[in-house]
Structure 1
């Protein structure tokens, strides 16, 4: 197990290095001068040169990359040119919106998908299976921002059960904050639940056709007992993959939902930074999100090894 974990850790480090190079290169090749965009077309040359120096744009690319990476390793993500605030403080303020939202949406997605997938697999080819698959097909096809608008129309405008947008802050109370995150979490969770339910059903059906399930049935176990005692655990490996990827997506990919609900999260911060060409914010926040994605995948790999002993022995 230790050898397997060390190999995955080495892969994590290499992935982070490659990701940092790609992110820095992509941000740098965007056309246009960020200093000129901030100051406007009528900016004086000396003022423009001073801002470029402040932003570090007059330094060679390798040196700027090295300074950026070294700063992140020390916990210094730089200072936003637009907000004149350390990026680390901005991330610390907004992560407490995006992280609970991602966890909330992932919990809802899992709670919906697991029973739906198991129910559909247990009733393969029957009306229940067809109904679940039809609902999941709809969930995959419809974008989450459409779900968001429908939820706002029904539960915020007509029924007035939940707020239509904004975030009061955790200082206003846990339940009030969670109430503000409920509709965004549902909008994020529904498409992900549809994907996860289909994967759960497919994986379970593959397990139910395996020889060890037939052996268990031949020994006297009912289909339900074989399903819960043997098939579900062995079907979790591909499902864990999807859950890990979904958490990363929900944390990093909620830009549209955060815009719809006016949530001050990381997604909206990236959107605003891109609009203002605040490069240090874009680079640092995207790199942080990539780090989260890679670490989550590392944790999923370790979960694989815990579920499937063959991975620990390299077979």
Structure 2
């Protein structure tokens, strides 16, 4: 609906500004743009369920062939950003919650607040300034396929992954630290574990963290959409040929089939992620069995 409301004519864009009105109208009919918007949408939807994902009106490629090359790039960036965010957040939160108000807690809280205030696209530019322009350690733009050069691949995705993962890591660390401190200071089961001789780190990791992980899981599920949506800007900044850039280019050129498929993939991923979170609740706590009651 937003694309339909946007100014511009895809047929005019494809035909060129010098094309005659008759040529533009002929191209509109060829693209199916002369039909009403609801009819075109349900035609696309029917094609989706029958395996026809549509054709790009800009490049002439089928959307399915575009997804074959674009989807792995975005999946790699999103997966690594998720690993980085969780890999940083959990140790940082545990260190901060070990001694609330201590040196580690203050430093981690300060860094988390500072980095959390930086949007991911600003973070991307800062990373480029430091690691590409200043230190010349990592490439600023471009993507190297993993099968072509594994080392080059990791180097090419490092900055996009950090730009997406660092703000989320700060968000998760702040939330998890607060929940861990509450578990340690306000619950009797931690006192009982310590009275039995369980060490502070073991009590924090084996007991407090297990209960706090429910809140972290919920937060992760809710932020999957944020993580995926961030690729639209980050891929454009780093010139990553993924779904994010594909969707942005499709929106700018009013390429409906491309944008609709990208939106569907992003939305489906967010829904599936929340379903996985619900399943993991039952895995972490045997008392949660949805089929028993």
Q: Normalization by structure 2: what TM-score? A: 0.90
How big is the shift at 1:130? 1.4
RMSD over aligned CA atoms reads 2.2
Query: Could you tell me how far apart the structure 2 residues matched to 1:75 and 1:246 are?
Result: 30
Q: Which residue of structure 2 lines up, in the alignment, with residue 5 of structure 1? A: none
Q: Which residue of structure 2 lines up, in the alignment, with residue 93 of structure 1? A: 69
1:169 pairs, out of 139, 145, 160, with: 145
Tell me the SS of whatever aligns to 1:253.
Answer: helix
Is the CA contact 1:120–1:129 (under 8 Å) kept in the aligned structure 2?
yes
Kindly provide the CA deviation profile for residues 179-202 of structure 1, in whole angstroms up to 9, marking residues without a partner as x. Answer: 111121112111111001011112
1:242 matched to 2:242? The reply is no
Q: Which residue of structure 1 lines up, in the alignment, with residue 123 of structure 2? A: 147
Task: Tell me whether 77-86 or 304-313 shows the greater mean CA deviation.
Answer: 304-313
Kindly provide the CA deviation profile for residues 208-247 of structure 1, in whole angstroms up to 9, marking residues without a partner as x. Answer: 2223223323444343332122111111111112333444
1:105 matched to 2:81? The reply is yes
How big is the shift at 1:80? 0.2
Alignment map for 1:40-51 (pairs within 5 Å):
40=16, 43-51=19-27
Distance 1:201-1:89 versus aligned 2 partners, 3 A rule: same
Q: Which residue of structure 1 lines up, in the alignment, with residue 39 of structure 2? A: 63
Kindly provide the CA deviation profile for residues 136-155 of structure 1, in whole angstroms up to 9, marking residues without a partner as x. Answer: 00111012222222222222
Q: Which residue of structure 2 lines up, in the alignment, with residue 188 of structure 1? A: 164
1:290 matched to 2:267? The reply is yes
Q: Normalization by structure 1: what TM-score? A: 0.84
Unpaired runs of at least 5, structure 1: 1-24
Q: Which residue of structure 1 lines up, in the alignment, with residue 244 of structure 2? A: 267
Query: Could you tell me how far apart the structure 2 residues matched to 1:194 and 1:42 are?
Result: 52
How big is the shift at 1:35? 2.4
How big is the shift at 1:48? 2.5
Distance 1:238-1:54 versus aligned 2 partners, 3 A rule: farther
1:197 pairs, out of 173, 177, 182, with: 173
Alignment map for 1:210-249 (pairs within 5 Å):
210-249=187-226
Q: Which residue of structure 2 lines up, in the alignment, with residue 252 of structure 1? A: 229
Q: Which has the higher contact order (CA 8 A, sep 6+)?
A: 1
Is the CA contact 1:34–1:277 (under 8 Å) kept in the aligned structure 2?
yes
Is the CA contact 1:252–1:266 (under 8 Å) kept in the aligned structure 2?
no
Is the CA contact 1:188–1:250 (under 8 Å) kept in the aligned structure 2?
yes
Tell me the SS of whatever aligns to 1:109.
Answer: helix
How big is the shift at 1:40? 4.8
> Number of paired residues?
291
Query: Could you tell me how far apart the structure 1 residues matched to 2:51 and 2:94 are?
Result: 44
Is the CA contact 1:99–1:251 (under 8 Å) kept in the aligned structure 2?
no
Kindly provide the CA deviation profile for residues 105-145 of structure 1, in whole angstroms up to 9, marking residues without a partner as x. Answer: 11111111110011111111222211111100011101222
Is the CA contact 1:102–1:247 (under 8 Å) kept in the aligned structure 2?
no
Tell me the SS of whatever aligns to 1:64.
Answer: helix
Is the CA contact 1:273–1:282 (under 8 Å) kept in the aligned structure 2?
yes
Query: Could you tell me how far apart the structure 2 residues matched to 1:233 and 1:157 are?
Result: 42
2:10 pairs, out of 19, 31, 34, with: 34
Q: Which residue of structure 2 lines up, in the alignment, with residue 131 of structure 1? A: 107
Tell me the SS of whatever aligns to 2:239.
Answer: coil
Tell me the SS of whatever aligns to 2:289.
Answer: helix
